[in-house]
Amino acid sequence: MRDLKHLIYFENLLQQANNDLVQDACKDGRLALAWNCSYIPEVLLDTDKCFGVRLRAPNCTNPDMATYYMTNRSCPYSKSILERAFEGGYNFISALIGQECCTTMNRMEQYFEYCELIPNEKFFCTYLDMPLRKTEWHAGYYRRQIEQKIIQPLEKVYGVDFSEDNLRRAVEQFNEVCRIMTEINAMREAENPVITGYEFHVIQLCTQTCPKDLILPYLRETLAEIRTREADAQKNYRVRVAVVGSEIDDPDLIRLIESCGALVVADRYCYGSFPGRQEIVLTDGEDALTQVCRWYLQHTECPRQSALHRVQYRNDHVAQLVHDFKADGAIYEQMKFCTYWSYERVIANQIMPRDYGIHILSIDRPYIAGQSGQLRTRVQAFVESLEMKQLRSAQKEDN
């Protein structure tokens, strides 16, 4: 296929947190609000003069300083973020919006304040206490958390205007991004898709790490380009897979999987598009903030919600994605030492083949894994096993 016009530009935007579009927004006096969990209401961070930046630490492979403050067995994502903060990689941010559901990530966020890593007198960190249930009472509790720990501090410290009109404008902007990503996602269901998993992941990450109003012109143009893009005459993959699991912000990991012959057709992982790129439909009969809070609480698929019916719901969703995107199997991955996803992955390793007939590969990985020879070998073996499964199924049909 012909290369996407803006792909190299998108890739360059992902080389550092303080990318060109972020710098342009900061020069205009806008406030960069950092976040790093899907529990955080991303859409609210794009209100008024603010824009959200999902924290990443590209190419961080040796977080020595962060390990000194944390431990060898801490999540490598959290340590990499802290390491990059010590290096000055996030000096442009005005606040860090965190959460208390993950102890390791919460500790990392606290060091931003304890060690005074951001050279901004007004900089502050705030931490949401996330409910585990999804009742209306818990939605109200979630709203109060957001009011007290996001809206009020930003109003007091930076004078941010969270009026109803501004909130609804932020939701509409968010929804346009979602509509674009949803349409591109639907193209991945085709037998011979006009976009690869790597390309989609790069674009998806850009929607989370750049000011949405500045990245939207490129997204619109890319969508128009993909609509008329012609796929190769012969499909260039051997099997189709869904990737499920914890945080992935390294596109090279998806590139590695696809280089082994496994086309990634669905991204059900933290900061992927399932969930995260579905529209928030607002009604006129209720204020926007209440509806946004309810939407985020209802649509989360974090394994922190470990009640059996929530585990069942997540398994059903993965099975539905495998069916809808015609995947031959699923790769369950987790960051090393991730407590929540380690349980989810181990359970799925037994339940998905037994109850859903879905062949899976189960792996744990470092933060930067795109060059892992061991991982490449395991993915190659998984691809071969899926091909053998297809061959046996074809033989049974012939008989």
pLDDT at 399: 66
- Give yes or no for a contact between 301 and 276, defined as CB atoms under 8 angstroms apart: no
Q: Pick from 274, 243, 268, 247: which is nearest to 80 by CA? A: 247
Q: Which two tokens stand for residue 313?
A: 């719901």
Q: What is the pTM assigned to this prediction?
A: 0.95
Q: Pick from 201, 207, 307, 321: which is nearest to 331 by CA? A: 321
The rounded distance, in Å, linking the Cα atoms of 174 and 280 is 8
- Give yes or no for a contact between 229 and 222, defined as CB atoms under 8 angstroms apart: no
Single-letter amino acid, residue 245: G
pLDDT tens for the chain, 399 residues: list them: 889 999 999 999 999 999 999 999 999 999 999 998 888 999 999 999 999 999 999 989 889 999 999 988 889 999 999 999 999 999 999 999 998 878 888 899 999 999 999 999 999 999 998 888 889 999 999 999 999 999 999 999 999 999 999 999 999 999 999 999 999 999 999 999 999 999 999 999 999 999 999 999 999 999 999 999 999 888 999 999 999 999 999 999 999 999 999 999 999 998 899 988 999 999 999 999 999 999 998 888 888 888 889 899 999 999 999 999 999 999 999 999 988 899 999 999 999 999 999 999 999 999 988 778 889 999 999 999 999 988 887 777 776
Across the chain, which distance is largest between two alpha carbons, in Å? 74
Task: Compute CA distances 276 → 82, 155, 223, 323, 393, whole Å.
Answer: 25, 26, 18, 20, 35
Measured in whole angstroms, the distance separating CA 85 from the mean position of its chain's CA atoms is 20
